[in-house]
Amino acid sequence: MADNLLPLANHKRIDMNAILGTPRSLATGPGRFWRAYIAPQLAAFGGSAQPAIDSVRPDEQFAPSASARQFPSLFALRGVGKTYDGGVRALRDIDLDIREGEIFGIIGRSGAGKSTLLRTLNQLERPSEGSIHFEGRDLLSLDAAELRTVRRRIGMIFQHFNLLSSRTVAGNIALPLELAGTPKVQIETRVAKLLELVGLVEQRDRYPAQISGGQKQRVGIARALATEPRVLLSDEATSALDPETTQSILALLADINRRLGLTIVLITHQMQVIKAVAHRVAVLDDGRLAEQGEVADIFTRPTQEITRTLLREVIGNEMPPGVRERAARLLDGSGRLWRLAFRGQSVDRPVLAEAAERFTLKINLLHGYIDEIQGLPFGSLVVAASGAASALDAAAAFIAAQEISVEELAP
Ligand code: ADP
């Protein structure tokens, strides 16, 4: 237990694994699992600042499908550009690979080109330049009949659901099958299965006006899956929903991805959505691909300012001004203010505790967050460290050697 403890002022000790460790690893070892709302206690530890700390429990239902990363690309876009009549360049030189079995998120501010990009994938929008391959076929070379066949393999769901108000829940789900000329008995069996999949068995005979927004989106999802597509495109599918319903729809999408191995491409302006379900993400900015990669990488090591801006909404990386003022008071001209960014394995060791002990430092926790993406913990802490200058240098090097990035902030 002693190794997990960080000595702070007044001989008070706090288990840093509760702050700088994974809840799961802690739960299996000795010791306590604390949710630390630290404000009053921190004063007792010698600090006067109020940290904003919360630890979000890993949510099993959003774990990625096991083999999502091993599949080859389902969509391959090369040099895709789109200029609308009137001269708006909505997309410029987009290179993207979307792999089979993954949930691929596309994020950007309003007007960034997300919707245009998504619509090029099923050819609702034809690019002005470049090529798009789907299942190895060049989408731009297909004739109208071939395109209709391909589109059955590409389902789509929408922000405003696009349901027919004159049809029941079951009738809406059956529609694509009727259009495809599927025999009636097959339609009935398939609709019954889809109703079960999306949890709407009891609502089957209601009309859209008689169900909630979340239920409408479930109908949209079932309808999109009716023709057994290989990929589902989601156009801001949760933007019109309240946070709780959003979570339940995202959980459903993650579940469908996992159970059916269905590839999902979703566009959103909310990083929360990306964080909850996507395996990989592309960031669009003014029609250009600013960066793309694994969600955990983009969250922990964003390279573009636009990404950092979008991330602020979820991780609240900015120190509140009050915290900064208190930090300045606490350090009183000496000591250092560090922002420590960590991820994955680096959170398994009580690094701060070790640094404080080894270099005889006083370390006060000021601000931070810890979260999880795809089962990997990540986060950032701002701490005030005081001690001898040489010890502070050595401690910063020691912490950085544990794969925790150390950024010195101006107090
Ligand atoms: P987002 O989905 O990220 O909000 P869009 O793809 O809808 O972005 O739009 C990208 C840019 O293209 C915007 O400047 C938008 O005004 C413009 N745009 C979108 N659709 C059309 C259209 N049909 N005709 C002309 N300009 C369009």
Q: Which amino acid is at 308?
A: R
Strands 137-138 and 154-158: unpaired
Residue from 298, 255, 257 nearest 274 by CA: 298
Question: What is d(CA 306, CA 104) in angstroms, rounded to the nearest whole number?
Answer: 19
The DSSP letter of residue 203 is G
Predicted TM-score of the model (pTM)? 0.78
Ramachandran angles phi, psi of 283, nearest 5°: -105, 120
Cα(126) to centroid(ligand 1), Å:
13
CB 132 within 8 A of CB 140: yes
Phi-psi region of 109 (alpha: psi -120 to 50; beta: other; left: phi over 0): beta
Residue from 256, 251, 261, 217 nearest 235 by CA: 217
Question: What is d(CA 326, CA 357) in angstroms, rounded to the nearest whole number?
Answer: 24
Cα(289) to centroid(ligand 1), Å:
15
Phi-psi region of 105 (alpha: psi -120 to 50; beta: other; left: phi over 0): beta
Q: Where in the chain is the domain with CATH 3.30.70.260?
A: 2-52+320-409
Average pLDDT, the chain: 83
Q: Which amino acid is at 263?
A: T
User: Token digits for 93?
Assistant: 């030189």
Q: Which amino acid is at 61?
A: Q
Range 38-66 average pLDDT: 35
pLDDT band at 291 (very low <50, low <70, confident <90, very high): very high
128 lines ligand 1 (CB under 6 A): no
* pLDDT value of residue 5: 31
Q: Which residues contact 195 (CB under 8 A, 6 or more apart)?
A: 169, 170, 173, 201, 203, 204, 222
Cα(114) to centroid(ligand 1), Å:
8
For the 62-313 domain, the top CATH level (class) is alpha beta
Report the side by side order of strands in the sheet with 362-373.
362-373, 376-386, 336-343, 405-409
Q: What is the pLDDT of residues 103-152, one digit of tens each?
A: 999 999 999 999 999 999 999 999 999 999 999 999 999 999 999 999 99
Count Cα atoms within 13 angstroms, Cβ side, for 281.
29
Q: What is the pLDDT of residues 353-367, one digit of tens each?
A: 899 999 999 998 888
CATH 3.40.50.2000 fits 2-52+320-409, yes or no: no
Asked whether residue 6 carries a pLDDT value surpassing 50, the answer given is: no
Q: Where in the chain is the domain with CATH 3.40.50.300?
A: 62-313
**Which ligand 1 atom is the nearest neighbour of the CA of 267?**
2
Question: What is d(CA 320, CA 327) in angstroms, rounded to the nearest whole number?
Answer: 11
115 lines ligand 1 (CB under 6 A): yes
Which segment of 18-32, 137-151, 194-208, 374-388 scores lowest on mean pLDDT?
A: 18-32
Asked whether residue 370 carries a pLDDT value surpassing 50, the answer given is: yes
88 lines ligand 1 (CB under 6 A): yes
User: Token digits for 156?
Assistant: 């789509």
309 or 33, which is more confident? 309
10 lines ligand 1 (CB under 6 A): no
* pLDDT value of residue 223: 97
**Which ligand 1 atom is the nearest neighbour of the CA of 287?**
10
